[in-house]
Structure 1
Amino acid sequence: MTRGAERALSVEHWLLSAAETPGRARAEWEESGRALLRCGGIFSAVRLSARLVYAVTQTTCLADIDNYLARALHGGPVFLDQLTHRYYVLVGASTRYRSEWDQPRCEDAEFIGRGHFLGVPPVQATTPEAGPSYWCVPMDSLGDLTRPDAVTQLLSVGRFQLTSRGERATGE
């Protein structure tokens, strides 16, 4: 087994520890390209609208967006649900205690934690052609999550860009 394959298997097992039934989650990955994993334990997520991500990156080209997110979020894991046009940034569960998530839910960004399940793509899904969701920025190693400050900065830049273009940044 190659070093990359070993790493992917470790990440897969780590993600499966958030499943109610790991065997069922593995089957969901094979059947539908997504498995429901519990948030608020080993990870939580910040959901970002494509509108906000497009404003930050100033493009709709998925390859360019993926590269930008990898740099801006310092390699922190991100996946795109291509059906809902939402980006999901995986963060630590303690991110929910940050002041920016004390606000009411907004359209462009929302913290997803305890009490929620998230349809996560398999670790092998790393291109848009892989299925309904894919990892724009794959998880490099188990437990390697995105730093909350990087997400906050991305959100701030996106809202600034939207406002600069005369669009209303929702959730302010």
Structure 2
Amino acid sequence: MSRSGSTQEKATALDVTAAGLPELGDVDGDAEPLESADLVARRERELAVSHWLLTAADDREQARRQWADQGIALLACGGVLSAVRIPAGLVWAAAGTETLEEADGFLRRFFDGGAVFMDLHAGLYYVLVPGFTAWQWSDRDFPGVECLGTDHFLGVPSPRLTERGGRAYWCVPMDSPGELTYVDEVKDLVSLGVAARAERGLR
């Protein structure tokens, strides 16, 4: 989507209608110390990642409100991050499964770190890559795959949304601020999916 026009117009055009942000449960008073430490560490990671992602927002306060109200905030591509959009069918072909839990596990093993989220309503995966990334392969080679860079906005889920549900969730959560995916790994994933579909006579 073009970066021209107001932020409200962009949000409407992107149809950002995700479910509300789920609350993190309170720590049980009888929980083991390790569980409490893990919860604190998770919250600290989510906060750090949130601050970093918000550097891609035109209006950080508005983006925070969007995360709180809708679960998804509109961020600009082409600066600190870009994204490669991949149809779910290609990812599932590469993973050899259409079960989301199994596909998530495959992606976490396939990528050495990085960050991937899925738009459940549209059936699309978004792999976050460095902002300077230029996708050099044609739609004929990789059908439906597109790199969203400068002049594009992207509805990005809150770092808290790591469970399947709502509009979108992180299937490969960003472990630390700025931990993006190598574009060569994205190409390998898409190539694997294309080859798997070709073996089944699918385009």
The normalised TM-score by structure 2 is 0.77
Equivalent position of 2:21 in the other structure: none
Of residues 21, 24, 40, the one that matches 2:78 is 40
2:173 is equivalent to residue 135 of structure 1: no
Could you tell me which amino acid in structure 2 is paired with residue 99 of structure 1?
A: Q
Shift of 1:107: 4.1
> What CA deviation, in whole Å up to 9, does each residue of 1:30-74 have, x standing for no partner?
222211000000000000001101111111111111110111111
TM-score (ref. length: structure 1): 0.90
Distance 2:122 2:164 in 1: 14
Counterpart CA distance in 2 for 1:51 and 1:90 is: 19
Do the aligned residues in 2 keep the contact of 1:51 with 1:108 (CA within 8 Å)?
no
Aligned equivalent of 2:181 = 146
Counterpart of 1:141, as a letter, is S
Residue 99 (structure 1) aligned with residue 136 (structure 2)? yes
The one-letter amino acid paired with 2:167 is: P
SS in 2 for 1:95: coil
Greater Rg by CA: 2
Unaligned runs of 5+ in 1: none
User: Percent of aligned pairs with the same residue?
Assistant: 45
Separation in 2, partners of 1:108, 1:75: 24
Residue 32 of structure 1 aligns to which amino acid in structure 2? Answer: Q
**In the aligned structure 1, how far is the partner of 2:172 from the partner of 2:85?**
14
1:149-168 matched pairs, under 5 angstroms: 149-168=184-203
Cα gap change, 1:104 to 1:166, in 2 (>3 Å): closer
> In structure 2, what is the Cα distance between the partners aligned to 1:99 and 1:87?
19
| Counterparts of 2:144 and 2:96, CA distance in 1 | 16
Equivalent-residue separation in structure 1 for 2:44 and 2:161 (angstroms)? 16
**Counterparts of 1:124 and 1:165 in 2: how far apart (Å)?**
37
Contact 2:139–2:145 (8 Å) recurs in 1? no
Structure 1 position 148, deviation (Å): 1.0
